[in-house]
A and B are shown apart, each in its own frame.
Chain A
Amino acid sequence: MIFREIRPCRTKGALEVLPTEPVDLQLDTVEGALRSAKFEVVNASILVVASRGDIAETTLYEDGRLLVKSLDPRTAHKSAARVFEAATGTPETSGFEEYVAAGRVKAKGGAP
């Protein structure tokens, strides 16, 4: 599992997905990697916003934290996994149900 937790953000308007291992991303490099994976990208230097037809719009920060503009944890997991894999090369090998079973989903819709 590449994520430690899926939880509501501070204002509960989106879901935050935290990586298991700390990372220090170079976002200019990440921007190129995301574009290669056919994401539309806005690079604001301290964060990138990635969008693509198959995910909810996702913001990725330098420390690997992701903010997904959805309140559905399953969508958040899928979106975060696709962006994180494209950005870091680390594939997600666990399904959403495994996160639920492990108690890592702290949002509505994540109860085991």
Chain B
Amino acid sequence: MPHKVGMLISGGIDSPVAAYMLARQGFDLVAINLDNRPFTDDNQFEKAPALIRKLSEVTGQDIKLWVAPHGANQVQFARKADRHMQCVLCRRMMWSVAAEIARAEGCEFIATGESLGQVASQTLPNIESENAAPSLPMLRPLIGFDKMDIEAIAKRIGTYSISTGPGACCTIVPDKPVTNATLLRTDAEAAKVDFEGMKKRAVQEAFAYDLQGNPAV
């Protein structure tokens, strides 16, 4: 029986490639998108379903897409935690919400499209401090890839043009995001908000689409 994985799909170039790599290894995919509006725009939001349709085509899987709200949680982090820790807390929350949804879907893992050093905040110390929260093990199939490799695969499988279409970047990223977060510091910052309550609300308010864009159970 194939392993089932909750794949975080952001709308960027990397996560669809990571999803494709896992599908090629025999994993069954459940896609999870965290809706970051109003800190991104509708164009960015609409990329996730378009990418899932393309991935379903190239993998032959009928992939369900879960969408969970994330903007309200970003507001809480911005208002109550250290400004420079925004990205670390954002990701810790995304992994945690995704893990809960994935667990309910019968997944054994969650996965992301992270690769080291691609953005300032994507460092080993940060990843370690973000890892502590989710309730499922995390897979990062692209961790050692460079951007050229990832883009080449994205072009080959047809997701590149979707990912690079119009879409606003995240407006709540701080000027100087932390690059060397520790578990202690991340825990302390997460304790400034009702992390568990925020996570539960996001999971409760999440909804699923099938490939036709209809609500899926």
- Chain A residues proximal to chain B, CB less than 8 Å: 9-11, 13-14, 42-47, 49, 51, 57, 59, 67, 69, 71
Contact = CB atoms under 8 A, between A and B. Distances in A.
Contacts of B75: 42-45
Contacts of A45: 75, 78-79
Contact of A69 (B71, B78, B168, B172): B168
B186 interface: no
Contact of B171 (A51, A67, A71): A67
A69 B41 contact: yes
Interface residues of B, number: 18
Scoring B74, B79, B167, B171 by chain A CB atoms within 10 A of each residue's CB, the highest score goes to B171
Given A13-B44, A14-B41, A57-B38, A46 B169 contact: no
B168 A13 contact: yes
A49 B39 contact: yes
B161 interface: no
B54 interface: no
Nearest to B75: A44
13 contacts: A13-B167, A14-B168, A44-B75, A44-B172, A45-B79, A46-B83, A46-B172, A49-B38, A49-B39, A59-B171, A67-B171, A69-B168, A71-B166
B43 interface: yes
A46 B38 CA distance: 14
9 closest A-B pairs by beta carbon, nearest first, are: A44-B78, A11-B169, A13-B168, A14-B168, A45-B79, A49-B38, A69-B41, A44-B75, A59-B171
Interface of B: 38-39, 41, 43-44, 71, 74-75, 78-79, 83, 166-169, 171-172, 174
Contacts, number: 50
Say whether chain B's binding surface is mostly helix, strand, loop, or mixed: loop
A13 B38 contact: no
B213 to A, nearest CB: 23
Contacts of B83: 46
A79 to B, nearest CB: 13
Contacts of B71: 42
Nearest to A41: B38
B150 to A, nearest CB: 17
A48 to B, nearest CB: 10
Given A11-B167, A57-B38, A59-B38, 6 more contacts: A13-B43, A44-B78, A45-B75, A46-B78, A46-B83, A59-B39
A44 B169 contact: no
A44 B166 contact: no
B169 A10 contact: yes
A47 B166 contact: no
Scoring B41, B75, B168 by chain A CB atoms within 10 A of each residue's CB, the highest score goes to B168
A47 B71 CA distance: 13
Contacts of B174: 46
Contacts of B79: 44-45
B168 A44 contact: no
